[in-house]
Amino acid sequence: MGLRIAIFGQAPFGRDVALRLVEAGHALVAVHAPPDDSAQGGRADPLAAEAEARGWPLFRHRYYRRKGAAKPELVEEYLGHGAELNVLAFTTAFLPPEIVDAPRLGSICFHPSLLPAYRGGNALAWQIILGAEESGVSIFKPDEGVDTGPIVVQKGGAPISELDTSASLYFDKLYGLGVDAIVEAVEAIADGSATFATQTEEGASHQGLVDDEVAHIDFSRSAEVVDRLVRGCDPQPGAWAEHERGVVRLFGSRLVEVGHRALPGTVLGEGDEGRLLVALQGARALAIAKLRVADGKKLAALEAGLGSGERLV
């Protein structure tokens, strides 16, 4: 039996969830996507574009709260959808309980970790930064906490390799798993077989956002710690260090053995595959594919103009 679903999401992930739910026989009574920023140089949102192309009712709001309280006009608009279930497909909007709890079947939300570990808004980055060996996805019912609600579907078995970045972990390993998990959860809710398991606090963790304070590279740390930080901050915000030309952000890194005697943070010159080598502890180095210097564009690392012997701190 198909459900009347309101989806809150964005990007290709939100689009693919929407398409799969329609293919499964559910009706999208509302699609909530971020406002259109294409006029300011942003890209058109794939979920919104799909909704427009297929005639799905589309709503585009950035904020659903005002001074911490629900915007009454948006709650009234939402209630007009007549949704039986909300699906939160990687939305960045903070929804008030007047919307989250309104449908008769409530809401379900996607999270890119094996809850209760790595709660919070930057779970992908923290799993790499803190050295997790396996990842997965969780579909849960939102409550008043941050990613603390009962879980309806969880899928693991996604190994985190020593080359993974936040981008590769998401797109190559968790994206498809997440779409499948949401569809599976909706089907279980629709046929009445869903069970919601209360999250245990054993193994629970919550990490804050990965901002520039977190992303600053401390070259006194071990090579493994620095490597994980750079990969976890790739593509956003980009792990960084100071250079005489300004902040330098590093992307596309891998850890290599080079046998140098330079101080950590020293630019060693060209490595294999057109990468730039930066010295780390223990005679190891980061092999960097791309750099962004100051406010410039992201460039191939060897084209960024950093010379051998110069230091990042």
- 237 confidence band (pLDDT: 50, 70, 90): very high
| pLDDT tens-digit map of 274-303 | 999 999 999 999 999 999 999 999 999 999
Class of 4-191 in CATH: alpha beta
- DSSP classification of residue 258: -
Element (H, E) at 98: helix 97-100
* Alpha-carbon torsion (110, 120, 127, 231), positive or negative: positive
Place of tokens 């390799």: 161
Residue 231, token pair as written in the block: 């990969």
pLDDT value of position 40 = 58
- β strands within the chain, DSSP E: 4-9, 27-33, 58-60, 65-66, 69-70, 85-89, 107-111, 134-140, 151-159, 239-243, 246-257, 267-270, 276-279, 284-293, 298-300
Q: Is the pLDDT of residue 41 over 70?
A: no
Token code pair at residue 92: 């960045």
What pLDDT does 272 receive? 94
Query: Which one, of 208, 17, 29, lies nearest residue 125 by Cα?
Result: 208
- The candidate with the shortest Cα–Cα distance to 45, out of 55, 35, 59, is 35
pLDDT band per the 50, 70, 90 thresholds, residue 1: confident
**Residue 228 clears pLDDT 90, i.e. is over it:** yes
Domain 212-303 = CATH 3.40.50.300: no
Q: What is the mean pLDDT of residues 67-86?
A: 97
Judge contact between 13 and 175, C-beta under 8 A: yes
User: Measured between alpha carbons, how far is 144 from 254 in angstroms, rounded to an integer?
Assistant: 40
State the average pLDDT for the chain: 96
pLDDT at 37 over 90: no
Domain boundaries, the chain: 4-191, 212-303
Q: Give per-residue pLDDT as tens, 187-199.
A: 999 999 999 999 9
